[in-house]
């Protein structure tokens, strides 16, 4: 039937079909009936997809065979929307899209729009949320629509928009949305592009932008790709900036990417935390450092970091080791965070945060360094002063070395920051904390060399002769380890002269002993023996435990030099005189170390290696026992270089005894250990 109203309007609840029988005067307005089939195509246009074939194939198979709900996670700009669009672009039954990050519509409004797009008359779309959702499920149960829910922040949003089981749904989010697992969702985490694929994408984007790169641009493309951190959106922005008619040489501004949405959605404390974390002068950081910088408790810092990780604004770099987890701001997001910091964080707040970090790192690093080398006199002073503090639990040597190795980037970064701020006493204090790692060959000498150069300059500016002498000693050792023997002798000679001016014969003898090490490394055996003898004479006049320990170390050095002199490459093969001197010096050195520095397992191991090697050359029965004990002590102390030397001597001794298989196994293990040390 037709309503006889003067406006000639027929509503769908009164008639499903209207037939014109004769001429109708006036206007007749017809609403689209509910049964008109609609085929919406709302999925965003797709661009070329790089390095996503494997994950695309897996997700497509899951949609077709296993599950109808997939969650694609990853940081902003990683290409989640593009990949999802590629997967859903070929599906039939209609394609629906909603960008929850930008949309101002309610979930009810989004569903209503989708129902109208599927052909439901607007007058039949309920305003009541429950009725609207029921109609949505009814309609999507009858046709297999594909839905892309972009930028979801909660499982509730997905539940409200997900179609009936007949439809396929892909959800993109920066959050894991673990609550959807119970709803049968399968989650995929989208990784950044590899460097090679990032370069390929950048090259393609530049070509399409009308500025194809030339063969000589390879280095530039590599640097640009690295700066973008494998984020496709940052790569496209970089290509657009590079090809612009008004060149802009600044790095990709990630605030132009969807990162800004994540930052704008943060609460005040979270936004402040993200801004301030950019002040940490290291590639990564742990919860304790973050808590200090943010002036909060470790528990609160953990919560803040977890929330930033959920928002994909920081990432975990490691989840094992002495610190349970370490964090970093991805390289591609650092410009955005730094810009937000400069815009929104007052300078005085930034300065106070840095002050807190510097005030924390110095005593923490000195405490760990003291625990790593408890036999040193300076360490004993630190341990005695802090042992009763509840904030300073005493660490074993391996644990202390692990902590120092973990915080090495932070320590060197804070050293540079302190130098820039003119905090020269802090520069000197931080430079000394690398020494335990140097003793155990756990850090790159060339990298720390610059830190000790800064400490030397700081000491000279402060007219601190003692600090300058200590820095010269360390610089000499670093130079020896990097093969700069002439420079090493120069530094160590200057250090010995400084100690002489200060009237410190103990330190002067230590510097001369180190000069002997340089001569030994060069193969100048006679010069090394002379320097070691001078140091031995000086240490014999010092009756403290520290003096006796240094005397023991010098005797071990003498034993090593005598063994080198007895080597075929220097003098006649295996002269008994040098070997006898070596075994006597090693035995006495071992006894002194054991009596006056019982915690110094590394030096004990060195003494046993020298004694075992000499005993083997003299065919003594205790050679194997000494070398095996040396190997065990070196392993306990974490002294990799001493372990390698002990393994070499042990394998050589076993070969002399005819145990080729055992010797071969030890040499294979030694090779693996040495390879790891070089790496």
pLDDT at position 4, please?
A: 47
* 318 pLDDT higher than 70: no
pLDDT of residue 38: 63
Question: Is the pLDDT reported for residue 459 higher than 90?
Answer: yes
Residue 11 has pLDDT above 70, yes or no: no
pLDDT digits (tens, 9 = 90+) for 472-483: 999 998 898 888
**Domains 53-189 and 259-345 alike in fold:** no
Average pLDDT on 8-27 reads 49
User: Quick check: 318 and 300 in contact, CB under 8 A?
Assistant: no
73-86 mean pLDDT: 84
For residue 277, the model assigns a pLDDT of: 95
CATH of 543-679, one of 2.40.50.140, 2.30.30.830, 1.25.40.10, 1.10.10.10: 1.25.40.10
Per cent of the chain over pLDDT 90 is: 32
pLDDT higher than threshold 90 for residue 488: yes
Kindly tell me if the per-residue pLDDT of 25 is higher than 80. no
Residue 411, pLDDT score = 93
Q: What is the mean pLDDT of the chain?
A: 82
Q: What is the pLDDT of residue 184?
A: 77
Helix ranges (DSSP H) in 373-504: 377-386, 397-406, 408-420, 424-431, 435-439, 445-461, 465-481, 485-501
b vs e for 620-646, b when ≥16 Cβ sit within 10 Å of the residue's Cβ?
Answer: eeebbebbebbbebbeebbbbbbbbbb
Mean pLDDT for 347-361 is: 94
* Whether pLDDT at 58 is above 90: no
Q: Is residue 66's pLDDT more than 70?
A: no
pLDDT at residue 28 tops 80: no
| Average pLDDT of the segment spanning 392-415 | 88
pLDDT, tens digit, for every residue of 124-160? 899 999 999 999 888 888 777 889 999 888 888 888 8
* pLDDT band at residue 513 using 50, 70 and 90 as cut-offs: very high
pLDDT at residue 472, as a whole number = 95
Indicate the class that CATH gives domain 53-189: alpha beta
Report the residue count for the chain. 679
Token duo for residue 597: 């520095």
Closest CA to 78 of 305, 262, 231: 231
Comparing 329-343, 398-412, 549-563, 585-599, the range with the smallest average pLDDT is 329-343
Query: Hey, where are the domains in the chain?
Result: 1-31, 53-189, 195-252, 259-345, 543-679
Host H or E run for residue 187: strand 186-189
pLDDT of residue 591: 93
CATH 1.10.10.10 at 259-345, yes or no: yes
pLDDT of residue 278: 93
Residue range 262-270: mean pLDDT, rounded: 76
The pLDDT score that the predictor gives to residue 241 is: 65
**In this predicted structure, what is the pLDDT of residue 259?**
59
Asked whether the predicted pLDDT for residue 168 surpasses 80, the reply is yes
- What pLDDT score was predicted for residue 566? 63
pLDDT digits (tens, 9 = 90+) for 183-226: 778 888 888 888 888 888 888 888 877 778 877 677 878 887 77
pLDDT at 34: 45
pLDDT recorded at residue 9 = 53
The residues, ordered by sequence, that sit 6+ positions from 366 with a Cβ below 8 Å of its Cβ are: 382, 429, 432, 433
Q: Are 412 and 451 in contact (CB under 8 A)?
A: yes
Spatial neighbors of 131 by CB under 8 A, at least 6 apart, are none
- Predicted TM-score (pTM) of the model is 0.59
CB distance 18 to 130 below 8 Å: no
């Amino acid at each position: 039937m037709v309503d006889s109203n003067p406006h000639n309007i027929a509503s769908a609840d009164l008639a499903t079909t209207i037939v014109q029988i004769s001429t109708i005067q006036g206007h007749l307005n017809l609403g689209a009936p509910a049964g008109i089939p609609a085929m919406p195509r709302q999925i965003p246009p797709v661009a070329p997809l790089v390095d996503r074939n494997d994950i695309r194939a897996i997700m497509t198979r899951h949609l077709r065979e296993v599950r109808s709900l997939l969650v694609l996670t990853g940081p902003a700009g990683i290409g989640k929307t593009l990949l999802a669009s590629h997967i859903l672009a070929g599906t039939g039954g209609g394609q629906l899209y909603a960008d929850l990050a930008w949309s101002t519509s309610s979930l009810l409004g989004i569903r209503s729009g989708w129902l109208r797009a599927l052909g439901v008359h607007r007058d039949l779309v309920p305003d009541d949320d429950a009725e609207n959702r029921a109609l949505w499920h009814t309609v999507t149960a009858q046709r297999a629509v594909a839905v892309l829910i972009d930028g979801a922040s909660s499982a509730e949003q997905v539940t409200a928009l997900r179609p009936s089981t007949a439809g396929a749904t892909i959800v993109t989010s920066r959050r894991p949305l673990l609550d959807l697992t119970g709803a049968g969702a399968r989650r995929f985490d989208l990784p950044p592009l590899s460097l090679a694929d990032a370069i390929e994408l950048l090259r393609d984007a530049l070509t399409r932008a009308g500025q194809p790169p030339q063969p000589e641009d390879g280095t530039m493309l590599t640097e640009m790709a690295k700066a973008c951190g494998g984020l496709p959106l940052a790569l496209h922005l970089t290509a657009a900036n590079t090809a612009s008619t008004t060149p802009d040489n600044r790095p990709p501004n990630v605030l132009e990417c969807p990162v800004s949405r994540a930052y704008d959605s943060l609460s005040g404390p979270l936004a402040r935390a993200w801004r301030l974390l950019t002040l940490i002068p290291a590639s990564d950081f742990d919860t304790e450092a973050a808590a200090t910088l943010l002036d909060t408790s470790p528990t609160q810092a953990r919560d803040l970091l977890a929330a930033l990780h959920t928002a994909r604004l920081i990432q975990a770099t490691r989840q094992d080791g002495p610190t349970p987890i370490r964090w970093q701001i991805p390289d591609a997001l650092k410009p955005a965070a730094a810009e937000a910091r400069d815009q929104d964080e007052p300078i005085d707040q930034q300065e106070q945060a840095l002050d807190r970090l510097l005030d924390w790192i110095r005593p923490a690093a000195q405490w760990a360094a003291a625990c790593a080398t408890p036999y040193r006199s300076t360490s004993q002073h630190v341990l005695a002063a802090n042992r009763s503090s509840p904030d300073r639990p005493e660490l074993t040597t391996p644990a202390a070395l692990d902590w120092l190795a973990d915080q090495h980037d932070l320590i060197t970064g804070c050293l540079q920051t302190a130098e820039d701020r003119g905090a020269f006493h802090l520069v000197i204090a931080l430079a000394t904390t690398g020494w335990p790692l140097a003793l155990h060959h756990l850090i790159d000498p060339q990298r720390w060399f610059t830190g000790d150069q800064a400490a030397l300059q700081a000491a000279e500016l402060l007219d601190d002769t003692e600090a300058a002498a200590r820095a010269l000693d360390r610089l000499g050792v670093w130079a020896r380890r990097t093969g700069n023997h002439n420079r090493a002798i120069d530094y160590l000679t200057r250090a010995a002269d400084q100690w002489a001016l200060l009237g410190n014969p103990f330190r002067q003898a230590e510097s001369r002993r180190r000069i002997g090490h340089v001569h030994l490394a060069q193969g100048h055996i006679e010069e090394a023996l002379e320097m070691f003898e001078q140091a031995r004479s000086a240490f014999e006049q010092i009756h403290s435990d520290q003096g006796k320990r240094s005397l023991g170390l010098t005797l071990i050095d003498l034993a090593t030099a005598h063994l080198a002199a007895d080597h075929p490459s220097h003098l006649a093969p295996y002269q008994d005189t040098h070997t006898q001197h070596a075994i006597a010096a090693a035995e006495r050195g071992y006894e002194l170390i054991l009596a006056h520095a019982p915690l110094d397992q590394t030096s004990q191991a060195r003494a046993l290696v020298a004694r075992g090697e000499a005993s083997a050359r003299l065919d003594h029965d205790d050679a194997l026992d000494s070398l095996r004990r040396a190997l065990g002590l070196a392993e306990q102390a974490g002294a990799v270089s001493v372990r390698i030397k002990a393994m070499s001597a042990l394998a050589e001794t076993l070969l002399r005894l005819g145990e080729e298989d055992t010797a071969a196994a030890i040499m294979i293990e030694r090779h693996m250990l040495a390879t790891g040390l070089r790496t």
